[in-house]
Structure 1
Amino acid sequence: MRVITQKTVGAASVLEVAEAAKPVPGPGQVLVKVGAAGVNPVDTYIRAGGFPALGEPPFTLGWDLAGTVEQDGEGFTAGDEVYGLLPFPGTGGAYAEYVAVNASDLALRPSYLTVEEAGAVPMVALTAWQALVGRGGLSAGQRVLIHAAAGGVGHVAVQIAKARGAYVIGTASAAKHDFLRSLGADELIDYRHEDFTSIEPVDVVFDLIGGDYAERSAKVLKPGGVLVSIIPGNPGFDVDRAVDLGIRFELFMSVSASGADLAALPQLRVELDHIVPLADVAKAHELVESKRTTGKVVLVP
């Protein structure tokens, strides 16, 4: 099979196509023919050496995938259309034509998602679900502020929050407001020209930016409210500061692969910015690194 590998860390140009043996599923695993693999910002950090999650090269990146089960087993039937997240950080491996996946980390692909859309979903959707719902406890009737609402995680978080009956406020550039309204956002703030701290108090803030955003976000929380951050490197906040302010701080360190959580997700619309052939993986990484995409970038065989 074809697989994307790298022999050193560096720019996107270090990624190359290679040949490898088709994987053999271990106990509790199924073999999946990959139809689409999502490209996430963390992939680019690992490739460049900024986050040494996979150790020294050579290695194969990729955690998001959607595809077709090759053989009966572990509760699945050959031909089943599935999607899932490989354990993160684990060993990666989704940038390939075939991958062995833990059956418990897979869910049947919903009919409303194309294979390309499904390949873009797992990491961002599980991150949003596990952080916003699992750690933040978001529930019906609450007010939530989502920063970077038009990004990969953000645009899914908007939909999850809305599906749970929350009043959803998002920060994004004005050019992306119509897109976010179409996903259900109730109120939008152009972070370039407006100060989000002027909004009415909220129950939950989902911080996808970090730095000084966390301290500023704490000012808009109701007493007892919760600030959920997914920025472990520079969250700009800590538990002690939260106690001083009478709020709760939840730092979401890492997403967990879970077929059960995928099955629990509401119906989602996934924005695809680019669909890129596997052999053009360097282009896909450059697109993600540009930070100018709306939604996700996926690789297809």
Structure 2
Amino acid sequence: MPETMRAVDIKGGKGPVSSLHITDIPKPSISGNQALVKIKAFGLNRMDLLQREGQYPVPPGAPKTLGVEFSGIIEEVGAKPEGGFKKGDEVFGLAYGGAYAEYIAVSTKMLVHKPKELTWEQCAGIPETWITATQALYLISKFQPGKSILWHAGASSVSIAGIQLSVADKASAVFATARQDEKCEFVTKHLGATACFNTKKSTWVDEVKKATDGKGVDIIIDFIGAQYFQDNLNAIAKDGVIVNLGFMGGTKLPEGTDISAFVIKRCTYVGSALRSRDEEYQGQLRDQLVEHALPRFVDGRFKIFVEKVLAWEDIQEAHKMLEENRTKGKVICTIS
């Protein structure tokens, strides 16, 4: 009889918030460079909502259990652990799935040693969001100091990370959008953005043009998709790059969409995702995070904003918070 563990499951395989419940499933086994980690806390992401509803394809071989970021203690390592990880190490990391559980089997390439200065809850909120922001900023958009940048959904966890990275690495201007005055104030006051535009109160494209003397912005990081496609083309500067990471505003473009900016402005529109990338690619981003961001977490230059910490028994409430856009930062669940 295999060993079991508790994990969050979805009744019927997919469904609404009410379908989430904790049950017993087989405990994972490890091999090679993997570690078995006893989870202390895990972070929530919007992809979890889509996966719960059956709208997010899980990478081949990934566990069906939700969750990609976590913190915890290594209980066992395989025969060839990377980076000297060993039993008893306090770590946090990124996985292809399986973090809503008591234990997770994960490649040691995707683990980071937990600094004593950070809590379990803070560390569980780092991997997915900060690595996604790192990927979008440096690998995809090819950001360089002196470029201007706009982050949509400015109070979302990825944009919170990205805005801090952009400011720290000397963007000429860092703009953001949000749909609430409170979130706009948070983005400028606490993250250091140049300006944040409330999309319910003003036309953000006009505001960007005004703030850049008509030039537009060099880089746009977008999670909205079809709803902002035309506006992004209108707001991008010549030779600018638009990076699409999601489609909260749909995937079907309306009739009459004008794509002339691709030629007139020589702009680039590129889509990307992190979870579907191979272990080698993700490991390189892990290394960049450790080198570039981890020291700044430790000394406080970078802030990890945790909106709410809940016991994992309250997983339905945690998902509701994300669905209702009630957050400025991470929702974290702890396992006791």
TM (norm. structure 2) is 0.80
Paired position in structure 1 for 2:287 = 260
Aligned residues of 1:214 and 1:235 also touching (Cα < 8 A)? no
Q: Does 1:95 align with 2:95?
A: no
Higher RCO by CA contacts (8 Å cutoff, separation 6 or greater): 1
Aligned residues: 295
- Structure 2 residue matching 1:219: 3-state secondary structure: helix
| Structure 1 residue ranges, 4+ long, deviating more than 6 angstroms after superposition | 237-240
CA deviations over 1:162-187 (Å, ceiling 9, x no partner): 12211211112221233212112122
1:177 matched to 2:184? The reply is yes
The match for 1:246 is 266
**Residue in structure 2 matching 1:220, options 203, 217, 235:** 235
- For the pair 1:168 / 2:174, whether they are aligned, the reply is yes
- In the superposition, relative to structure 1, how do residues 240 and 106 fare at CA in structure 2: closer, same or farther (>3 Å)? farther
The one-letter amino acid of 1:234's match is T
Aligned to 2:29, the other structure's residue is in SS state coil
**What amino acid maps onto 1:283 in structure 2?**
E
User: Residues of 2 paired with 1:111 and 1:246: CA distance?
Assistant: 47
CA distance in 2, matches of 1:101, 1:294: 29
How many Å separate the matches in 2 of 1:41 and 1:54?
Answer: 16
Letter in 1 for 2:200: R
Aligned to 1:211: 226
- Structure-1 separation of matches of 2:240 and 2:122: 33
Return closer, same or farther for 1:64/1:202 CA change in 2, 3 Å cut-off: same
What does residue range 26-41 of structure 1 map to in structure 2 within 5 Å? 26-41=31-46
- For 1:239 and 1:211, the matched residues in 2 are separated by 13
Amino acid paired to 1:231: G
Distance in 1 separating the partners of 2:59 and 2:237: 40
Q: Which amino acid aligns with 1:286?
A: K
TM (normalized to structure 1)? 0.89
Among 51, 70, 73, the residue aligned to 2:75: 70
Structure 1 residues 132 and 54: alpha-carbon distance in aligned structure 2, compared to 1, 3 A threshold: closer
Tell me if the contact between 2:219 and 2:242 (Cα under 8 Å) persists in the aligned partners. yes
Contact 1:7–1:59 at 8 Å: present in 2 too? Answer: no
Structure 2 equivalent of residue 272 of structure 1: 306
> How far does the alpha carbon of each residue in 1:131-153 deviate from its partner, in whole angstroms, 9 at most, with x for none?
12210011211111111111121
1:104 Cα offset (Å)? 0.4
Contact 2:309 2:331 in 1 (8 A): yes
1:82 counterpart (67, 88, 91)? 91
Q: Secondary structure at the match of 2:153?
A: coil
Aligned to 2:52: 47
Residue deviations 1:241-300, cap 9 Å, x none? 624531111111344443324314423312212211122212211221112222111111
Q: What do the CA deviations read for 1:111-145 (whole angstroms, capped 9, x no partner)?
A: 44321111122111111111122100112111111
Q: Give the structure 2 partner of residue 290 of structure 1.
A: 324
Cα distance in structure 2, aligned partners of 1:77 and 1:163: 34
Instruction: Check whether the contact 2:230–2:258 (CA below 8 A) recurs between aligned residues.
Output: no
Asked if structure 2 preserves the Cα contact closer than 8 Å seen for 1:146 and 1:205, the reply is yes
Contiguous gaps of at least 5 residues in structure 1: none
Q: Contact 1:128–1:156 (CA<8 Å) still a contact in 2?
A: yes
CA distance in 2, matches of 1:278, 1:221: 42
Change in 2 beyond 3 A, CA 1:185/1:110: farther
**Residue type of the partner of 2:241?**
V
| Aligned-residue CA RMSD (Å) | 2.4
Does residue 2 (structure 1) correspond to residue 36 (structure 2)? The answer is no
CA deviation after TM superposition for structure 1 residue 212, in Å: 3.4
Counterpart-to-counterpart distance in 2, 1:25 and 1:79: 16
* AA of the residue aligned to 2:245: I
